[in-house]
Structure 1
Amino acid sequence: MARKNLIEISSADESPNPVSAVRPLSGFVAPATRSAPIGGITKTLGHITQRVERAQDIEKQLAEGQMIVELDPTLVDGSFISDRFAIDPVDLADLVGQIREHGQQVPILVRPHPKSNGRYQVAYGHRRLAAIKEIGIKVRAVIRELSDDQLVVSQGQENNTRTNLSYIERAVFAVRLEDLSFSRDVIMAALNVDKAALSKMISVVRQMPMGLIHAIGAAPEVGRRRWMEFAEKLPMAKIDISALLESLSADNSSDQRFQEAFDAINTRPAKAMEAQARSWAPMDKSVSVTVKTGEKKATVSLGSANGPRFAEYIAGRLDELYEGFLKSTTETTGD
């Protein structure tokens, strides 16, 4: 009965005996509990795993441009290609005031600088970056890996929607991109225009000296049609470009300078007085006199048999003739 009892108890208790109830081996002291160290290690490993996953998530968000970070603005360079002529100082001052009061609401987009380790290059947000550099705070930015094509498309599309570049600024931007060997498809995507519109933009800039375009400026109120008309008329005007540049007033707005230049190529100089010819001859036809007069020059020709002798006669009496001329002029004008 005792043996049977032992068997029944053994079969009823299926769980192993606790470590404290097991007779220790010689020279070995079992720990009081095994659950605490294993739980601690598991917990630590769990924390490490979470940190790794979090770091990977941060890296992914940064790579995809989903995370906003704060950067030292001195480490951020402008784009390798400019899309505007200059930042208007009045607009910049307004933006500085807005950021001082409300903070930087919209982050800029940058990429790791392709040539300078540890630096960044702006895709868009040049005005915000300039304002923040003036304030002296960190700039909020999205960092994204961008190819050159992706950068100019992002730059162009953002400026199309936010900064309202003028027509001529966008046209010059298109030419700069073409000069850097970007494809027409990329340029069209950056400017959000079709093939025909892009061709016209490039044609306008190609027909004009770049120095004249920059001397006029952005001219934000001047649209496509007037720039196209200006570009078409300029070569036909045969105007001295250097003189035109000197005539443009730096004190005027760029819209006013455009009008100055436009008026200059549309104002034709007064035509020089066309040479008029008069002929005279006596009854006997022994002398023929032809007088041609222009604005500042007159020619007298004498011919026929007595022509040479009559010419000598006139030459000998030039003083007398001129005095008579002055006297007739005084009598006519009353001076």
Structure 2
Amino acid sequence: MNARKDRLKSLFAGTGTDGAGEGTGSASQDQGPATPIPAEAPRRATSGAVKAMGLSLGSLSEEVQEARKLRAALAAGETVVELDTAHLENSPFRDRLSEGAHNDEEFAALVQSMREHGQQVPILVRLHPDAEKAARGIYQIAYGHRRVQAARELAMPVRAVVRELDDTGLVLAQGKENAERRSLSFIERAFFAKALIDHGFDRATAQAALSVHKSEMSRLLQVAEMVPQSVAEAVGPALKAGRPRWLALAELLTRDADGVAEALLASREFAEADSDTRFQLLYNGLEAAARNQRSKPRNSAQTVQNADGRQIAEVVTAGKVTRLTIPASAGKDFAAYLLRRLPEIHAEYEGHPDD
């Protein structure tokens, strides 16, 4: 207990090497190893001020862990460098359905935090595996995509740890960061899993990158195969929607014969909504269309043929109504003949109701 108090006291006083994150909330959701605060930076606020800012013990513990990771990286000979964002490419293995402010309601807070406090936590990159691009100083991002996007908006360079990584090392680092920071939504994890498998990774590597067991991996891939990627990208992360709701949406999409989904995706209401609301709008619209379809009477058609196999009538039943159609193949005057005989036929029917 005393050790914890001493550690927290050190953090509040600014004497520790915990590394400040870019603000609170969203800023802590996409950050890599923490960087020690430079000597010229202002000291951390007093404990009272920190409490007033609403920092939790959990976030403080997370900062300590990040500081330890950075010390381990430095001990391994890695250094933090500044890179021009023009020299950075995204990971070839997409893991999020957001890009900048699009589908990320907390991105603006990250930009504002970096504008006010700078980038305190470095990203992780590797030299581009393409030799030509590597010669031009191009790097690929393992994690820290949101910070890079924020830095581009602010026209500032980014601080990064450069590490030698093969594809497997990159996706494992990328997945580990997501597991320790802001978890991907279910649909993001599903399409990340599919992307890894499609790129040729074996299931064991994909499972390690996502920190999931075999059964969960199968469920992720099942949804990624059933939901069109265009729909997932239009809806976005939908953080509140898990596997059951995405499976239900996929089933509704397979029954959408009237183009309801296409109309909803193109609507202004859909475009202006947040991701979770977009999911609900699409789900509700498809469910209502399916309900209306179920309530419609089902038509049943039956053809009547003569002894030679020639069609002489078609009977269509819709609900409580039955329609009789006489085709030309039945004979020129057959319809008129049948009309004349109908009263007689009906009277015969009434006289033998059990026939």
TM-score range, shorter chain: 0.5 to 0.7
Structure 1 residue aligned with 2:276: 255
5+ residue gaps, structure 2, are 1-72, 301-314, 327-334, 343-355
Deviations 1:50-100, CA, capped at 9 Å, x for gaps? xxxxxxxxxxx7894632111222212211121111235142221111012
- Counterparts of 1:82 and 1:299, CA distance in 2: 59
Structure of greater relative contact order (alpha carbons < 8 Å, 6+ residues apart):
2
- Counterparts of 2:149 and 2:278, CA distance in 1: 27
Spell out the pairing of 1:97-246 with structure 2 (5 A cutoff).
97-115=112-130, 116=133, 117=135, 118-231=137-250, 233-234=251-252, 238-240=255-257, 242-246=259-263
Contact 2:100 2:149 in 1 (8 A): no
Structure 2 residue aligned with 1:298: 323
Contact 1:92 1:127 in 2 (8 A): yes
- Aligned-partner residue type, residue 246 of structure 1: A
Contact 1:62 1:144 in 2 (8 A): no
Contact 2:223 2:243 in 1 (8 A): no
Structure 1 residue aligned with 2:18: none
In structure 2, the CA distance between the partners of 1:107 and 1:139, relative to structure 1 (3 Å rule), is same
The Cα shift of 1:161 comes to 2.0
- The counterpart of 1:311, out of the listed 319, 339, 343, is 339
Contact 1:171 1:201 in 2 (8 A): yes
Q: What is the aligned length?
A: 237
Answer with 1 or 2: which has the greater Rg: 1
Contact 1:110 1:124 in 2 (8 A): yes
Q: Is 2:80 the partner of 1:68?
A: yes
SS of the residue 1:213 aligns to: helix
Quote the RMSD (CA, aligned, Å). Answer: 3.4
5+ residue gaps, structure 1, are 1-60, 276-290, 302-306, 315-335
The Cα shift of 1:261 comes to 3.0
Deviations 1:307-328, CA, capped at 9 Å, x for gaps? 96683599xxxxxxxxxxxxxx
Contact 1:65 1:142 in 2 (8 A): no
The Cα shift of 1:196 comes to 0.7
- Counterparts of 1:151 and 1:138, CA distance in 2: 22
Contact 1:123 1:154 in 2 (8 A): yes
Deviations 1:13-37, CA, capped at 9 Å, x for gaps? xxxxxxxxxxxxxxxxxxxxxxxxx
